[in-house]
Every structure is written in C-alpha cells, then in structure tokens.
Chain A
Amino acid sequence: MNLAHHLIVAPILIPLVTGAALLLFDERQRTLKAMIGLASSLLIFAVAVALFRFADRIDGPEAARQGVYLLGNWAAPFGIVLVVDRLSALMLVLTATLAVPALIFAMARWHTAGAHFHSLFQFLLMGLNGAFLTGDLFNLFVFFEVMLAASYGLLLHGSGLQRVKAGLHYIAVNLAAALLFLIGVSLIYGVTGTLNMADLAERVATVGAEQRMLLEAGAGILGVAFLIKAGMWPLNFWLPPAYTAASAPVAGIFAIMSKVGIYVILRLTLLVFGEGTPSSGFGLHILLIGGLATITFGAIGVLASQALGRLAGFSVLVSSGTMLTAIGMSSGGITTGALFYLVSSTLTISAFFMLIELVERGQDAGASVLAVTMEAYGDADADDEEEEGGGGFAMPGTMAMLGICFAACGILLAGLPPLSGFVAKFAMLSAMLNPAGGDSAAPVPAYIWFVVFLIILSGLSALIAMTRTGIRTFWASMEGTAPRVLVIEMAPVLLLLFATMLLTVQAGPVMRYMDATTEALGATHHYVDAVTGARRVGAPGQEVQP
C-alpha cells in the first residue's frame, strides 16, 4: 500500500475538489477558472494514463488485487470498493481524452454563455469517472446521479428556448430512469442481500429457483434504466433532440454519456449472468434485437436529418445500437472489435459535434433545411446558381480545414478505410463471420448475415447523409463568407481526429489490449477473487500472506 495505490481514487477526487473550488471564484474571472479547469482535466488525463498503464500490466491475482481500492479501509463486501481493471481504465482514458478538447473548445466562447460552466464540467467528469471505477451497485447509482445532475446543468448551458424544451424532456426521462434504477437495485438487494458487484456474482449462483424470478425481474428493471441511458430503441426518443440542443463542447463530452450505459451493461451481463451461472445469457437476445432496432432507427434518422446536429444525434444512436448488438451476440472476438468500435466512434462523434458548430457558423440553419427540401422537390432556382458560380477562386484556408475534418468524420462514421472506423467494423464483422478464426468453413447462421447487412447498411446511410450535407455545405456556399474560426476551436477537433488516426496506426497494440480486456471480462472469478481478496491497510497478520 504505497502512495501510488491512492491514484485509483484520484480521478474522482480531482474533479470534485476542483469543481468545488471553482465555485468560490467570481464568474468574471473566466480565464482563471478556465485555466484551473484545464489543469485539472490534464491532471485527470495523466492519472488515467497512469492507471491505464497499470491495468495493462495486470497479469495475475496479486496485480489484480492491487487494482482494488477499499474506501474507508472497509473490506469488501461491507465497504464500497473502487476497481481498476482493463475496461474501467480504458473508459477513464477515453473520458479524459474527450474532456480536454471539449474544455479547450469551450474556452473560445461557450464558457461565457452561462454561469458555473467549469464547475459543472468538473462534476460531470467526477460522475463519469466514479461510474467507471465503482464496484458497488448503489454507489453506481450515486455516481450516475452526480453525472446526470451535472449534465442537466450543462445541457441548459447557454439557455434558449430549444435547450429548455429539450432539457425538460431529458430531465423527466432521466428522473423516471433513476427511479427504475432504484427499484432494480433494491430488488436485487432483497434477493441476494448484497450490493457489491463481485459478491453479487458469487451469490447469484446460490439463489433458489423461486427467488430467481425476482432476481431476474430486478436485473431486467435495472437493465431498462441503463438502456434508457444508452439510447436503445424504443427508449431513445429523448436523445437526438437533447444532444442537438446542447452547446457544442457539451455535446462533445455527452458523446461518452451514452457509453456509460453500455459500459455498465457490458460489465454486469458478463459478471452476473456470465457463462456457468444458472441465469447465463439472461437478456442477451433482447440486447441483440434491441440493438438491431436501434441501428435501423438510427440509420433512418441519419438519412432523414435535415440539420447537421440531428445527423450527429442519430449517429450516437447508430453507435449505441452497434455496441448493444455486439454485446448481445456475446462472443469474445466480437466484444474485442466492439470495444475498439466504442473508442473510435466516441472520439469521432465528439469531434463531429464540435465541428458542426464551426461549419454551421457560416450559414444560417434555415438555409440548410431549405437546401435539403429543394433537393427533394427539385431545384427551382438552379439557373441562379449557375450564373454565380462562374469564377474558380481558391477556397479559403478555414474552409479547406473544415472540409478535410468533415470528410474525415464522414469516413470514420461510415467505417471506410483507411481510418479507425474501418478497422473497428472490420474486426467486428470478421469475428461475426468467422467465429472460430483461421480457415474454418463453418456455415454462418442466417441471423448473423442480417446483423452484418444492417451494420454495413448503417455505414452506407452515414456515408450518403454526410456526402449530401458535405456537398451542400462546402461546394455550394461559396458566395457566403467563410466562418471566422479561432485556432483554439479548430485544435480540439484536430486533436480528436488525430487520436483516431493514432488508433488506426497503432491498431495492433490497441487490439491486443482490447483482447486482454475481453479475456479479463470473461474470467469472472478473477474479478471476484481480486475484490474479495483485497487486503485492508494495516490489517494484522494479513501483510505476510504470500
């Protein structure tokens, strides 16, 4: 138990302390607040990377125990534990990777649009990090609520009619979801008598047949609460308006919020209803069917979107749906690909949300809606355009930059080579079509072909929608003045896109890490053993154990 061990709690404490301290400063000291917030986010990033490197080295029970942090020095299952393993470390790094660019982007002008932006942002990070780290169901609820309460404030940041309307629906839906969460947790507690995830995984096997129904009902209700967050159809009608209404940096960090639901579902289904338990495979077919329905709904929404913001909102749904489908198929290879897809698509969508704001700055929103309508009903004034578009003048530097980023986002969303979106989809699809690996020619079940077809179709729909809006935005609006874009607004988008490029170039090592993550998720007993075997500090006679 050295000082490094306390790093595990740092991703929660740093934003908590920073967020609280920022409340003390006057709103007029914006630059100072922004600098403190940025320093805190960078520190969280450094801690997350350190934990990631630690998690990557976990290779046995002793190392896994080092990743368990007993809050208040109470042994599990009596106290609350924080657990760092490969999956939670991955999510921590992803959160921090999104947070830094979003904060830099906000510093250009968005943080002046309302009060307490930086405090709320830090509290959101605290909730996210806590939800990824905790090993206790009720503690998960608390961190969920911290995250949601901060997100309510952030969604309303900048105010305005559209945000308040979307915010009202968002809050009402999430309050109802929180109540479902509580019902689920208390049912599970009533049956098993524990809230610790590792302890729960052990006790589930001993639950009798007559109690099993109650347990599964509890797990189902709990699952609905997470699926609302993850945005599974038909629980997702609140998501596109809310994400569209949010200001750009907020939407950029919201990209990870729908992944919190996915993370919890992935963790709990494998831990509690993993292989070998009596309820093995509980709810997986619902995830599969719901995931497919979400992809379909999202793809139709992407095609139907007239504004860029809605396009991005529906892209979140496509990404969630793909993840849920992959989890529902519950095979190691597919999960590996899906984890890669999770990282890649979250980075892409975050970059896309911020890019949209820059692109749309040059044009008014009404014009783009009109443009798509005109496309559908035939161009009435096509002659006028031809008259104006005669001279071949050079594209301004900003527009070229925006165009390149837009194209990169399109390629990433559609899953085309050479960027990481393609690598992710290829990994998933090859695992689906060839589960055994190698040259085995086992017949592929019909439903898998359907899944493959839908995933490819969702990529195609993203490509069509992106091409259409891209042509309308970058090739047709030459007469308009180029939007004024600051460097600190462009840099975050480039940073995120650079991260996806890094992901592409380093696909081999990243894939190896994802593979190890999937393996660790499947080996439930290692997780249980690590949590229950974690030693208290200063416990007599325990330090000498081998």
Chain B
Amino acid sequence: MELILSLGIGIMTGSGVWLILRPRTYQVIIGLSLLSYAVNLFIFGVGGLKVNAPAILTDGVPVSAYTDPVPQALVLTAIVIGFATTALFLVVLLASRGLTGTDHVDGREQSQ
C-alpha cells in the first residue's frame, strides 16, 4: 500500500509540476489541482498508513489500534481552502481570457 500511495503522489506531483510550467492558463489550473491532490494524499500519509482503523477514541481499545486523527483534520481544511482558492483562480482565468482574448498566461501569444 505504501508503494501505491507514494507512486500515486509522485505521478500526480510530476504531472502537476509539468502542467503548471505550461503556457496555457487551463493547463496551469489543472496542474495546480493535481498538485493539491498530491499534497492532500501526502498529508494523509504522514500520520502513518492504517487500514480499517478508527480515529475516534473509545474505552478499552489500545491506542495503537487508532489512526492519527490530526492529518485527517488537516487534510479536510486543506481541501476546503484549496477548493476555494482554485475556484477564485478560475474566475481570474476567465477574466483574463475575456480581457486579453487569449488563454496564454502572459496575456499575449509568444510568437507575435
């Protein structure tokens, strides 16, 4: 499971970094989304991977049977904030497209 998770994070980060370096705004926003998925998985992973382990304490169960609840709380916050800022970026992207008439990140085509 560790291998699959790390491969998943790696592939998404790699694709994300490649995409945010591309010149089209749409590629940049997809790249940022992929990167934020990768980061969210990464945060999830730092608490240690456990299957079928609850995060909420109940009496009489040893502490080692739980998964770490803090990364889950962090990931939730990160998702919400990432979602909001990506939505805002999308609006700016559309405004830029409307004002410049191109989807190049610099607002003008390179060749001209």
B-binding residues in A (CB < 8 A): 138, 141-142, 145, 148-149, 152-153, 156, 159, 161, 164-165, 167-169, 171-172, 175-176, 178-179, 182-183, 185-187, 189-190, 195
Contacts and interface: CB of A to CB of B under 8 A. Distances in A.
Contacts of A165: 96, 100, 106-107
B70 interface: yes
B92 A186 contact: no
Interface of B: 20, 25, 28, 32, 35-36, 39, 42-43, 46-47, 70-71, 74, 77-78, 81-82, 84-86, 88-89, 92-93, 95-96, 99-100, 105-107
B74 A138 contact: yes
A388 B71 CA distance: 72
A33 to B, nearest CB: 22
Given A172-B20, A187-B46, A190-B46, A164 B99 contact: yes
A145 B80 CA distance: 11
B85 A178 contact: yes
B20 A176 contact: yes
Given A164-B96, A165-B100, A189 B85 contact: no
Given A176-B20, A182-B78, A168 B36 contact: no
B25 A195 contact: no
Contact of A176 (B32, B100, B106, B107): B32
Given A145-B81, A145-B85, A176-B32, A164 B92 contact: yes
A171 B92 contact: yes
Nearest to B98: A164
A183 B44 CA distance: 11
Chain A's interface: helix, strand, loop or mixed, by majority? helix
A206 to B, nearest CB: 18
Given A142-B81, A145-B81, A186-B71, A171 B88 contact: yes
Given A149-B84, A149-B88, A189 B39 contact: no
4 closest residue pairs by CB, A with B: A190-B46, A186-B43, A186-B46, A165-B107
B46 A189 contact: yes
B105 A149 contact: no
A175 B32 CA distance: 8
A363 B77 CA distance: 48
A255 to B, nearest CB: 23
Contact of A175 (B43, B70, B89): B89
A165 B105 CA distance: 8
B107 A179 contact: no
Contacts of A172: 20, 28, 32, 89, 105
Contacts of B82: 178
A189 B39 CA distance: 14
Contacts of B36: 179
Given A138-B77, A190-B47, A176 B35 contact: yes
A186 to B, nearest CB: 4
B92 A156 contact: yes
A175 B85 contact: yes
Given A179-B39, A182-B78, A186-B46, A168 B71 contact: no
A481 to B, nearest CB: 31
